[in-house]
Structure formats: structure tokens, C-alpha cells
Amino acid sequence: MIIVSAPRILVAGAALVFMISMAAPLGAQQADNPDLQTDPVEKPYIVQDGKVDPGTYNGFRRYHSSCHVCHGPDGLGGSFAPALVESLKVLSYDDFAAVVANGKAVQGASGQRVMPSFGTDQNVMLYINDIYGYLKARSDNAIGRGRPERIGK
């Protein structure tokens, strides 16, 4: 009889969702136009004349549906969590994805702050590349605050 602990199952599930998200096909508009294809490490976003690629736009939408409650609007931070526009100046894609998938606990002056794991949340993990691209564009000052306009719209 094999006994597997709940945390191991959770981490394994998060890893599976993450791998699926990495292999997910590009959106139709990105696939039709090679100039709009992004890569989370080498080219996480595209900005042309102040407008963003479909993935970065989707990242904006996904960030504001799941992350902004703690991390603040536009990644600027909040009372519960740090400003991701600052964190992504030093945080790699892999480190970002690992924290999102597994969560993080930090001991601070006011006590322990905990970011929950989003590893099993399909609304986050299936779009982790897009969320990273949006936040990286904000961190690099490639786009400003608010809803970005889409290339071709």
C-alpha cells in the first residue's frame, strides 16, 4: 500500500497544471501572426505604439481577476502583498511561476505574511505566461497603468 501525503499530491497537481500551461497553444491571433508570438523568458510581451499583444492583454485581464486583490491595481502593491512591478525587476520567470504555483510565506516585522498557492487554480496557472508578460511589461515601463489597448484593435 502506497501512502501519499496531501501536500505531495497538491504539488504534483500544480506541476501538472503548470506543464499543461507551458504546452498550451497560442491564441488564434498570435498563431496567425508570427510577429505577435511571445516567449515567457526571451520575449514575454510585445508593445507596438503603446498597444500590446493578445497574451499581454489577457495577462492584464487575468491579473485583475485574481491577483489585484492583494497585489493592488496594475501590480503596484497593496496592504497585503508587495508591488509586483518592483519584484519583477529582479525575479525571473521561473521564480515567479514557482511562487505562484507553490505560494510563499515571509516572516516580517508585523508577523507572517502568506501568499496562497495558485497551483491548482486553472484561471491562473493556464495563463501564467500571460500574467507574467503583463507584469513584466509594467515592470519594464513598457506600458502604463490601466487597461492596455490591443494591437490590431
Q: Does the pLDDT at position 58 exceed 50?
A: yes
Pure H helices in the chain: 6-23, 28-32, 54-66, 68-71, 84-87, 93-102, 122-125, 128-139
Query: Residues of the chain with pLDDT > 70: what percent?
Result: 78
Grid cell, residue 108, equals 516580517
Q: pLDDT band at residue 2, thresholds of 50, 70 and 90?
A: low
What's the whole-number average pLDDT of the chain? 82
Grid cell, residue 53, equals 499583444
DSSP label at residue 39: B
Site of grid cell 493578445 = 54
- Determine contact, residues 85/74, Cβ cutoff 8 Å: yes
Domain ranges, ordered by start, for the chain? 6-150
The predicted model gives 125-141 an average pLDDT of 95
- Domain 6-150 matching CATH 1.10.760: the answer reads yes
- Amino acid identity of 44? P
Angle (CA) 124-127-133 rounded to 5° is 115
Grid cell, residue 115, equals 501568499
CA–CA dist 153, 151 (Å, integer): 6
Q: Does the pLDDT at position 28 exceed 80?
A: no
List, for residues 66-99, the tens digit of each pLDDT value.
Answer: 999 999 999 998 888 889 999 999 999 999 999 9
List, for residues 9-21, the tens digit of each pLDDT value.
Answer: 555 555 545 554 5
Q: What sign has the CA pseudo-torsion 75, 97, 48, 86?
A: positive
CA–CA dist 19, 31 (Å, integer): 20
Please list the residues that pair with 37 across neighbouring strands: none
Grid cell, residue 119, equals 497551483
